[in-house]
Amino acid sequence: MKVVLTGVTGFIGREILDQCLQNPSITSIVALSRRELQPPLTSDSKVKVVVMDDFLVYPKPVLEEMSGAEACIWALGKARMPDNKTNRKVSVDYTLAAAQALEQNSSPYADSNQKFRFVYLSGAGAEKDQGKSLWVMQDYGHIRGEVENKLLSFAKDHDSRFQSYIMRPGMVLPKEMTIRSLVFGLGPSVKVDALAEVMIDVALRGNDCQVFENTNICAHGS
């Protein structure tokens, strides 16, 4: 299976990439990146790095590299952005531009029930109700919720070819638990390797659940 990945230099994205490299069901990985990547990220022949000049535009050479992909795991962005304009551009505009490009570029499958799977890394603080006031990180919560709403709506409008999945982890902990991470883990949390495993499994096999809360992620990975 061929998959498209983003955010591979980040804490979560790097774990996703590592597990994809180890997964025999994944034969080809297209890593969309803002810049060229260096070994060991690019050492494996399964990985093809595609440098994106603009994540809003998918020119023909980029579409050709992504051709034949059956899933995308989108882990681009971070909780804290310099301003809301940048946050909305990276979180909303980039994500929807990718979804549209991937849906239009996806090939018809022999199995009519198979759809392109877009697995989006959101967060526990996302709020789909755009009119709801939040006590903390209101802008972040509303922007992430806006992405979720638009991805799910896009999937509904393109139901014959495209499926969206939303991951809402709480605190993402390192694989090697420490006293510090254990304290953080007292709240809703999941280890990074467990989160990556679930995202990859959904990308490969799909799931009846479209929105995975932290409890769903932990249960699915157990």
Q: How many CB atoms lie within 10 A of CB 136?
A: 7
For 32, 52, 68, 110, the CA distances from 65, given in Å and listed in that order, are: 10, 12, 8, 21
Residue 68 has pLDDT above 50, yes or no: yes
207 Cβ contact partners less than 8 Å away, ≥ 6 residues apart? 165, 220
Structural domains for the chain:
2-221 (3.40.50.720)
Residue 116 has pLDDT above 50, yes or no: yes
Which ranges of the chain does DSSP label H, i.e. alpha helix?
11-22, 60-66, 84-88, 94-105, 138-157, 179-184, 192-205, 214-221
Q: Name residue 119's beta-bridge partners.
A: 73, 165
Half-sphere exposure of 203 (CA within 13 A, CB side): 31
- Averaged confidence pLDDT in the chain: 85
Tokens representing 47?
Answer: 């990985």
Give the span between the Cα atoms of 162 and 70, in whole angstroms. 10
The string of pLDDT tens digits covering residues 126-182 is 656 565 554 445 566 678 888 999 999 999 999 888 999 999 998 888 887 654 555
Tokens representing 108?
Answer: 């018809």
Identify which of 163, 174, 171 has the alpha carbon closest to the alpha carbon of residue 211.
163
Residue 8 has pLDDT above 90, yes or no: yes
